[in-house]
Amino acid sequence: MAYIGKTPVVGNFQICDAISVVNGQAAYTLQVGGANVIPESANHMIVSLNGVIQKPGSSFTVSGSTMTFASNLATGDSIDFVQILGNVLDIGAPSDATVTTAKLGDSAVTTAKINDGAITSAKINSSVGLGITEADQWRWTASFTGNAIPVTSNWERNDTSFDKIGTGMTESSGIFTFPSTGIYYITSRAYLSLNSNSRYNELAIQLSTNGGSSYSVIADTYTHISNNASDTTYANAFVNAIIDVTNTTNFKVSIKVTNADVNTSWEGNTNVSSNSTTFIRLGDTWWQIENG
């Protein structure tokens, strides 16, 4: 905290050097170890004169390092001691391990506020976790047919009903990079159509832990289209996974689709999230929690 003028001395109890009374003198300089000291105020001092504790403000005053009695002292008077208490109105910094749960007020510790993607006003250490700090959703803007391992084009962030929380994912040719380490929940939805039969249609989440050199399917699902008429038939597929992202350089994700009939259309739309992949950071990675 900044102060105008002298910074308060907190809890610094000092006994001033012995003061010799001068006949007919009321003002005396306060020193500790030969150096001038400045009390917070007369109320932050205990002064004993001739064995009697003096009343601050009326029996004596203080200005800077000068203490002035209400009347001149005379030969034979004795200033027994002057004790400076420091800033008794401020408890100062508590000692280590002295603030217990019982000392905290209800709802006194707050989580972070997120303002335009930036975390502010966090009163909980980041190792505890600050709730959902990243949420992002991407979709395909155009339809396509056939297999895509992975889906590399026509990706856009949802700009119709939601933008993002936090920094958001980075996408390049269908490869998604995480903005920070943590536990992420990923869910993908596929909407597809065909005017004939397709015995399988696969939607899968692929993960790379070596910077994109190779990918493994970590979650997949299958749906089929059975069409006994000439009209178009539609189907949906959903898949999800939870990933512990411990390194944002090595961990990358992509979406894979395959089908039995390469004429199957995977529907895309720039205004509606017909096909979408959502990324939500649930909290810190276990590595962060265990290592602080």
54-75 tens-digit pLDDT: 999 999 999 999 999 999 999 9
Q: Is residue 102 assigned to a domain?
A: no
What is the average pLDDT across 223-229?
88
Residues 264-273, mean pLDDT to the nearest whole number:
94
Q: How many CB atoms lie within 10 A of CB 186?
A: 21
Residues 20-25, mean pLDDT to the nearest whole number: 96
Q: Say if residue 159's pLDDT is above 50.
A: yes
Question: What confidence score (pLDDT) does residue 101 get?
Answer: 83
Please state which of the ranges 28-32, 104-108, 178-182 shows the lowest mean pLDDT.
104-108
User: What confidence tier does 106 reach under pLDDT thresholds 50, 70, 90?
Assistant: confident
The HSE-up count of residue 239 (CA atoms within 13 Å, CB side) is 22
Task: Please give the residue that has the higher pLDDT: either 133 or 206.
Answer: 206
Same domain, residue pair 146 and 283: yes
| 73 and 127 housed in the same domain | no
Per-residue pLDDT reduced to its tens digit, 75-97:
999 999 999 987 666 666 777 88
Percent of the chain having pLDDT more than 90?
71
The stretch 186-196 carries a mean pLDDT of 95
DSSP per-residue letters across 114-176: EETTEEE---S-TTT--S---EEEEEESS-EES-BSS--SSEEE--SS--EESS--EEETTEE
- Give the distance, in angstroms, between the CA of residue 16 and the centroid of all CA atoms in the same chain: 47
Question: Is pLDDT of 28 > 60?
Answer: yes
Share the mean pLDDT of the chain: 88
Same domain, 138 and 80: no
In a domain, 6, yes or no: no
Radius of gyration of the chain (CA): 37
**Residue 91 covered by a domain:** no
The verdict on 153 and 248 lying in the same domain is yes
Q: Minimal CA–CA distance to 90: which of 185, 11, 196? A: 11
CATH number at residue 284: 2.60.120.40
Instruction: Tell me the DSSP string of 205-245.
Output: EEEESSTTS--EEEEEEEEEE--SSSS-EEEEEEEEEEEEE
Residue 264 placed within a domain:
yes
- Give residue 56's domain range: 14-84
Residues 77 and 204 in one domain: no
**Nearest-10 Cα torsion for 212, 158, 221, 256:** -30
Q: Which of 282, 251, 245 is nearest to 129 (CA)?
A: 282
The percent of residues above 70 in pLDDT, for the chain, comes to: 84
Pair 122, 190 in one domain: yes
Give the range among 75-89, 133-147, 181-195 with minimum mean pLDDT.
75-89
Least confident of 10-14, 59-63, 147-151: 10-14
- Rounded to an integer, what distance in angstroms lies between the CA atom of residue 73 and that of residue 50? 11
Residue 162 tokens, joined = 């939601």
Q: For residue 132, is pLDDT > 90?
A: no
Q: What is the pLDDT of residue 1?
A: 54
CA–CA dist 254, 205 (Å, integer)? 6
pLDDT value of position 289? 46
Query: Average pLDDT of 45-60?
Result: 96
User: Residue 255 has which token pair?
Assistant: 């979406």
- Does the bond joining 179 to the residue before it have cis omega, within 30 degrees of 0? no
Count the domains in the chain.
2
Which whole number is the average pLDDT over 160-188? Answer: 95
Q: Which helix (H) or strand (E) holds 290?
A: helix 286-291
Q: What pLDDT score does 11 carry?
A: 57
pLDDT at 292: 46
Count of other CB atoms within 10 angstroms of residue 232: 12
Name which residue leads in pLDDT, 18 or 119.
Answer: 18
> Stretch 202-210: mean pLDDT, rounded?
98
Is the domain of 67 the same as that of 119?
A: no
